[in-house]
Amino acid sequence: MIEFSERIPRTAQFNQLHAAEAYLGMGELEQALDSARAAIPATRTLTSARTVELARQFAGQLDPYGDSVMVREFRDHLNRELVA
Per-residue confidence at 8, pLDDT binned at 50, 70, 90?
Answer: confident
Give the pLDDT score at 9: 77
4 pLDDT more than 50: no
Say if CB 80 and CB 42 are below 8 A apart.
no
The C-alpha atoms of residue 32 and residue 19 are separated, in whole angstroms, by 7
Q: What is the pTM of this model?
A: 0.85
User: What CA dihedral angle connects 50, 58, 74 and 71, to 10 degrees?
Assistant: 160
Quote the pLDDT of residue 43: 82
Q: State the pLDDT at residue 84.
A: 57
Mind listing the pLDDT tens digit for each residue in 13-68?
A: 899 999 999 999 999 999 999 999 999 988 888 777 888 899 999 999 999 999 99
